[in-house]
Chain A
Amino acid sequence: MLSVHSVVSFDFAVANIPGWHTTIFPPYFVAGAIFSGFAMVVTLMVIAREVFDLKNYITINHLEKMNKIIMATGMMVGYAYACEFFIAWYSGNPFEKFAFINRAFGPYWWAYWIMATCNVVIPQIFWWKKARTSIPVMFVVSLFVNIGMWFERFVITVTSLHRDFLPSNWRYYVPTWFDWGITLGSFGWFFIWFLLFCRLLPVIAMAEVKGVMDHEQQH
């Protein structure tokens, strides 16, 4: 996960457009991936433990710990946002400064503020134990986190491309039906394999559960 996301972040970082050409991308992407990954797991597990009656195997305790990690990585991602903004100002580079002001107040301000709210503000509710251990709250928050991370990737990709170094490229990009189709298809691809797994393979690995239980005999 660490190496894959670092290398994927290089796909952006090696470009020289403002907003992409920054060394913070590997840790930023890795933290964001852990953040969004745990949120996805919480979403799926809340459903799976109801449907498959796994409440004794995937306990509220497990979910609570996942929520703590969600909040921790959410704060790391929030710190990365602040870092990028600070460096854009501190560098004095007018292109970099513009790129970040454009993100927050330009044509895509709505996407940026959805991202910031969903990723940084909403997970703060997990400071309270009642929220961390409440199934409805964690389900809603994990969905918001997934939405926020989707918008983060949207913001990174689109806001830098729609205001790059060549003014003739400046446009307001609206996703086409093909883009929505590919996005929907990617969700479908994920759910095909997840649902096939749930249907055909043991959802809980017996060996792993045995491994963490007390044994009557020693090895």
Chain B
Amino acid sequence: MSSSTKKGPGLAGVIGYFENTQNLIEAMEKVRDAKWASFDAFSPFPVHGMDEAQGLKRSPIPFVTFAAGLTGFCLAFLLQYWTSAVDWPLIVGGKPFNSWPAFVPVMFELTVLFAGLCTVGAMFLFNRLPNITRKAFDPKLTRDRFAIVIEAPILDDEGEPKVAPKKGTREFDESAAADFLKKVGAVDVRTVYHEGWF
């Protein structure tokens, strides 16, 4: 996605529109195989098979969920253990101080709470939300159009790419990208600039 810079219009990439998900998936596989450095797809609804077509790796969110759940679980146990067996031990009905079966409901609840909240937070974080700087460039993409954008690298003041492109990837060239998108079946190919409006 193009980033908003304060410098003024700069090339953000080339966008190609598609009519339906079938064309989008097929074109996306070709874009991925051509090893363009940076590209993205847009559609109004999740498209089945898009992750493989784009070459996306698995999301790290499940690891966050697991770690957060484990944290909640341990914290709940520690809280109850410390209060019941260390800080203020009270003999209740002859039961031992560390009555862990009685601790189970709180451990369950904190596991679920931490896992749930951290999953939502991680989802926002990994999707770079809340987003107030990067503009969307075509409202129809959330309605009834699909698109692939081949992105141009963000340039610094000298005109050199800020982040060096990965080895083995194809360097961005505006006309080459536009021709490539036309070749894979885009019906409408345009150039995108950083302000986000054509």
A interface residues, Cβ below 8 angstroms from B = 3-4, 7, 10-11, 14, 206-207, 210, 217, 219
B83 within 8 Å of A by Cβ?
A: no
Interface mask (B97-109 → A, CB under 8 Å = 1, otherwise 0): 0000010110011
CB contacts (< 8 Å) of A7 on chain B: these are: 104-105, 108-109
Q: Roughly how many angstroms separate A136 CA and B25 CA in the complex, as a whole number?
A: 47
- Of chain B, the residue at the smallest CB distance from A219 is B48
CB contacts (< 8 Å) of A11 on chain B: these are: 105
B197 within 8 Å of A by Cβ?
A: no
Q: Roughly how many angstroms separate A170 CA and B109 CA in the complex, as a whole number?
A: 32
| Cβ contact of B105, chosen from A10, A210, A217, cutoff 8 A | A10
- Docked-complex contact A217 and B20, CB < 8 angstroms: yes
7 residue pairs bridging A and B, Cβ less than 8 Å apart: A3-B112, A11-B105, A206-B44, A206-B45, A207-B44, A217-B22, A219-B49
Count, chain B residues at interface, CB 8 A: 13
CB contacts (< 8 Å) of A14 on chain B: these are: 102, 105
With A14-B105, A207-B45 given, name 8 new contacts (CB 8 A): A3-B112, A7-B105, A11-B105, A14-B102, A206-B45, A207-B44, A210-B45, A219-B48
B46 within 8 Å of A by Cβ?
A: yes
Min distance, Cβ B165 to any Cβ of chain A, angstroms: 33
Interface mask (B110-121 → A, CB under 8 Å = 1, otherwise 0): 001000000000
* The 6 residue pairs across chains A and B that have the minimum distance between CB atoms: A207-B45, A7-B108, A217-B22, A7-B105, A206-B45, A10-B105
Q: Roughly how many angstroms separate A143 CA and B188 CA in the complex, as a whole number?
A: 53
- Docked-complex contact A3 and B108, CB < 8 angstroms: yes
Min distance, Cβ B78 to any Cβ of chain A, angstroms: 19
- Docked-complex contact A207 and B46, CB < 8 angstroms: yes
Min distance, Cβ B51 to any Cβ of chain A, angstroms: 14
Interface mask (B41-66 → A, CB under 8 Å = 1, otherwise 0): 00011101100000000000000000
CB contacts (< 8 Å) of B48 on chain A: these are: 219
CB contacts (< 8 Å) of B49 on chain A: these are: 219
- Of chain B, the residue at the smallest CB distance from A14 is B102
Q: Roughly how many angstroms separate A206 CA and B43 CA in the complex, as a whole number?
A: 12
CB contacts (< 8 Å) of B44 on chain A: these are: 206-207
CB contacts (< 8 Å) of B46 on chain A: these are: 207
